Structure 1
Amino acid sequence: MSQKNIKSVIHGYSRKKEEEQTQLVAKENNLPYINLVNYPFTGDVLEIIPNAIAKKNMVIAFNRLGNTVRVATPYPHNVGLSEVMNEIGHRKNILFEPHVCSLSSINFALTQYDKLVRRTSDTSAKAKQKSIDEFLKEIATLTDFASALGGVSITQLFESILSGALAFDATDVHFEPQSEHVRIRFRVDGELLDAASIDHGEYHLLLSRVKNLAHLKLNRQMGPQDGRFSIAVGKGQIDVRVNVLPATYGETIELRLLTAQELLSLERLGLAEGTKQAIERNIKRENGLIVITGPTGSGKTTTLYAVLSLLNKPDVKIITIEDPVEYKIAGIEQIEVDHAAGFDFSQALRAVLRQDPDVILVGEIRDKETAEIAINASLTGHLVLTTLHTNSAPATFARLIEMGVPTYLLADAISLIIAQRLVRRVCASCNGKGCPKCGNTGKKGRVVISEFLEPSIEFAELIKNKATLGEFAKVYKELGYKLLNDDLQEKIAKGLVSPTEKLG
């Protein structure tokens, strides 16, 4: 073994012993232990304790969650630690949460000031600090957004990206590390659009910020992580669902933006008149199962919430079971499943039935057990709303039979099936010609294309005989129901939708 390798082994051994000893110190003092070597610090958190004070008192700020700031020191009985926490905590209205770290940790952390805090200051000096409002005034198109983002300081980068996404009505933001840069894309009206790019250094700080907000493990980089957080952007508050996934050039981030917008009415969704009337008929019933079906991204949840808004009255008890809760609704009890804890849809549904509800929303039927409980609930005095993944209204029967649901339950339980898709609307401002409001695409927003089915004796016979999808579809058409494509063609004829739009 070479001299260099021997030194490396000795250093590694001594470092391991140092961290083990530090863990014992933390345990003796009933304080959490943290290893900060290679920790992904951010400049805005480090700055909470200025560099000179951090060096003098050997204490570092490494993580912030709201008004709580986690700090670390090798010396938990250091008088300077108490003084720093009391003085800065009082002045900045911060609650400090002390941790114990090794001397190597604190020395590594102190080197990060020059790399991160100075960089933040330099960026602010080079580019005039913009408020979010000023930033938004500069972006009429995605090209404007990419250009304006270059003039934003690192401390405002994340909020500026979220503000831009909301300005373009994006439902999702994608951060995708490439070899030379990190690509940012927005999903707008179902289309994934290139928005901007940032360098890897900026992204490293942004990734740490997102992980902190979503309570994800900062040092975990080899597996997927899911989280959620709320953040104030501009004048509003949004909920953000987070997924982080390791990829070739670094961890990718997918953000689902859930804005606290008012629930859409059936009219604003653009539901066909026949579908709307069928919903209004069936929600007057005291029991029954209403199924909204379609592929992922077809707007099923939005339609469910629109139906709930019609049912949400003081004398009606509504409980929802969701994965996750996407929009919070006043007057409704909303429950979120937790698969990791074994609390799935079927378990939640059993518990909900003991709460004396009038209306139950089950976010999705994924298995036979959940389907059977939901169906039995609909047969015993409850109105149940749910979703299913199929491509057409008649396919719902075939899918549930395929799951193994007893046919004698199906025939009596289901009162209404709605199948739907989302297609892009013609921009109302320019009638499809292209303008700044639609990013010169001629399209702005989306509209629901739907078909519905109210089970009759013909379908009861097919269910009893476990008919095929083809047989269900044949009878559906013979009974004169309008198909998804019929609704699409009607909306094209009315000028609401471009002739180039296709059903997914």
Structure 2
Amino acid sequence: MPAVDLSNLTEDAYDPKEPYARVLNHEPLRFDGDMDPFQQLLVGASIKGASDIRIQTDSRIRIKMHGTQHFATAKPLNASEVLSILSHMWRSEDAFSILRQGRPLDFSFEVPIDRHRRQRFRVNAKGVMKGAGDGISMTMRPLPTKTPTIDDVGLDSEVRPYMSPQHGIVVVAGATGQGKSTTLAGITRFHLENTADPKAIVDLQAPIEFTYSDVLTDHSDCASSIEQSEIGEGRNLPSFGDGVWAALRCAPDIISLGEARDKASLEGCLEASLTGHLVYTTTHAGSVAEGLRRMVVNFPAEERDARAFDLITSLQLFVVQHLVRTSDHRGRVPLREYLLFDDYVRDQFVSVPIGDWPKAVSRLMQESADRVLARSMHDAAQQKVDEGKVSYDDLRRLLPRH
């Protein structure tokens, strides 16, 4: 990767007062082969536990560790250096022209560590304004080399029996960077390892974060299969909507959709679930009530009531998760709000206008556990505080009402 000066990554150039400098240099990082300074930064940050690496025109590289941002370089990168990095990762010179058309890029990038190890990253790039000109902003997220289990993602014991219905829609919601894809990966792994009930899975992601190669190798005796397609500019399929409709022609048992983000993808999810498929998907929302509203408003007003009925009929489980720093600030733990959709719960929604759904959710969250399987984010947070896993102050910043 030419024309990128990252000599300021050396230990001598770090300001010792900057926390990330101490984190990165806490112990020596040893790699086989030849890696340029940029690759060393990426791999070193991922080994240390960074969740995000942010690169922007005329800015210093920043790295997010356990929810806190730190500088990673002493000097900013200029426009040509950032463009060089993007072109190198995108493997084409047309990346900037795509961004200037207002189209973001979502793709994966891989760094070889040695003969046997690779570190993959999820990359999002978009155009931004820098002064009077156009700039580039990139966020890189290290991807785990090992597929997580449902134990690894801390899936709540109360909801585990309901994560694998015969058909319908299971939604995992949350903000960006809250582990939605990782939770879905843990669920997918469960199905791939389930020799008693093998499934044909179609996995649609933007980009593909988990390849499941470790699971498929270790469980070659299981008849389950997975077919993966990457969604996005210049990838396998142009959109999630196209992907889910194409998946329906492949006779899958399970469709895992990276995000139900628009009318076309939601229509595909509803059609798949109503025709007997099990669909897992994610959406951006901070609560069950918000998630339901955001999914419904994707449809035109004249279709909304009918589609709202289809959604409530199809939903099996709605989970919202936030990741919060542990009390020792060495990691993060998930807080999960959830609502199981059975016949009683569905009746509470179909009998009221869409505008009253938030009130319906609030009432259901307060009902007795023997009637409704539900937990509010407030109760999830209180449980973690009582267990000593998170601090009250950290929760108050995330959930202002605490």
Instruction: State the TM-score, normalized to the length of structure 1.
Output: 0.60
State the match for 1:194 in structure 2.
71
Q: Percent identity?
A: 22
The two structures, once aligned, show a CA RMSD in angstroms of: 3.6
User: Could you tell me how far 1:353 is from its partner in structure 2?
Assistant: 0.8
In structure 2, the CA distance between the partners of 1:250 and 1:297, relative to structure 1 (3 Å rule), is: same
State the match for 2:362 in structure 1.
474
SS at match of 1:349: helix
Among 169, 185, 206, the alignment partner of 1:289 is 169
Among 137, 140, 153, the alignment partner of 1:256 is 140
User: Could you tell me how far 1:260 is from its partner in structure 2?
Assistant: 4.1
Structure 2: how far apart are the matches of 1:332 and 1:219? Answer: 30
Deviations 1:219-256 (A, max 9, x none): 95883773543211367312232526452398445241
Contact (CA 8 Å) 1:146, 1:196: kept in 2 or not?
no
In structure 2, the CA distance between the partners of 1:147 and 1:297, relative to structure 1 (3 Å rule), is: closer
State the match for 1:420 in structure 2.
321
State the match for 2:208 in structure 1.
325
Deviations 1:348-369 (A, max 9, x none): 1111111110111111112233
Structure 1: how far apart are the matches of 2:2 and 2:286? Answer: 47
Among 441, 444, 449, the alignment partner of 2:335 is 449
Deviations 1:319-338 (A, max 9, x none): 01122212212342111223
User: Could you tell me how far 1:207 is from its partner in structure 2?
Assistant: 4.8
In structure 2, the CA distance between the partners of 1:465 and 1:385, relative to structure 1 (3 Å rule), is: same
Among 325, 334, 350, the alignment partner of 1:463 is 350
Contact (CA 8 Å) 1:393, 1:453: kept in 2 or not?
yes
Could you tell me which amino acid in structure 2 is paired with residue 470 of structure 1? Answer: P
User: Could you tell me how far 1:374 is from its partner in structure 2?
Assistant: 1.1
State the match for 1:347 in structure 2.
242
Contact (CA 8 Å) 1:175, 1:254: kept in 2 or not?
yes
SS at match of 2:229: strand
Contact (CA 8 Å) 2:339, 2:375: kept in 1 or not?
no
State the match for 1:212 in structure 2.
88
Deviations 1:141-200 (A, max 9, x none): 62346889xxxxx9832122113312321122223454xxx5121022232222222365
State the match for 2:276 in structure 1.
381
SS at match of 2:331: strand
SS at match of 1:268: coil
Which structure 2 residue ranges, 5 or more long, are not aligned?
27-33, 214-224, 299-303, 369-373
SS at match of 2:147: coil
Contact (CA 8 Å) 1:394, 1:453: kept in 2 or not?
no
State the match for 1:391 in structure 2.
286
In structure 2, the CA distance between the partners of 1:351 and 1:217, relative to structure 1 (3 Å rule), is: same
SS at match of 2:183: helix
SS at match of 1:295: coil
Could you tell me which amino acid in structure 1 is paired with residue 379 of structure 2? Answer: D
1:498 aligns with 2:379: no
Could you tell me which amino acid in structure 2 is paired with residue 354 of structure 1? Answer: R
Structure 2: how far apart are the matches of 1:147 and 1:347? Answer: 46
Could you tell me which amino acid in structure 2 is paired with residue 193 of structure 1? Answer: H
User: Could you tell me how far 1:385 is from its partner in structure 2?
Assistant: 0.6
1:336 aligns with 2:217: no
Could you tell me which amino acid in structure 2 is paired with residue 488 of structure 1? Answer: A
User: Could you tell me how far 1:391 is from its partner in structure 2?
Assistant: 2.1
In structure 2, the CA distance between the partners of 1:199 and 1:488, relative to structure 1 (3 Å rule), is: closer
State the match for 1:271 in structure 2.
155
Deviations 1:79-114 (A, max 9, x none): xxxxxxxxxxxxxxxxxxxxxxxxxxxxxxxxxxxx
In structure 2, the CA distance between the partners of 1:155 and 1:392, relative to structure 1 (3 Å rule), is: closer
Structure 1: how far apart are the matches of 2:24 and 2:146? Answer: 30
Structure 2: how far apart are the matches of 1:464 and 1:294? Answer: 27
Q: How many residues align?
A: 348
Which structure 1 residue ranges, 5 or more long, are not aligned?
1-39, 44-115, 133-137, 149-153, 427-431, 433-442
Comparing 223-232 and 264-273, the one that deviates more: 223-232
Could you tell me which amino acid in structure 1 is paired with residue 311 of structure 2? Answer: L
Structure 1: how far apart are the matches of 2:313 and 2:94? Answer: 52
Q: Which has the larger radius of gyration?
A: 1
Which structure 2 residues correspond to residues 167-178 of structure 1 after superposition, within 5 A? 167-178=47-58
Structure 2: how far apart are the matches of 1:379 and 1:233? Answer: 45
In structure 2, the CA distance between the partners of 1:243 and 1:233, relative to structure 1 (3 Å rule), is: farther
State the match for 2:21 in structure 1.
143
Instruction: State the TM-score, normalized to the length of structure 2.
Output: 0.74
1:316 aligns with 2:199: yes
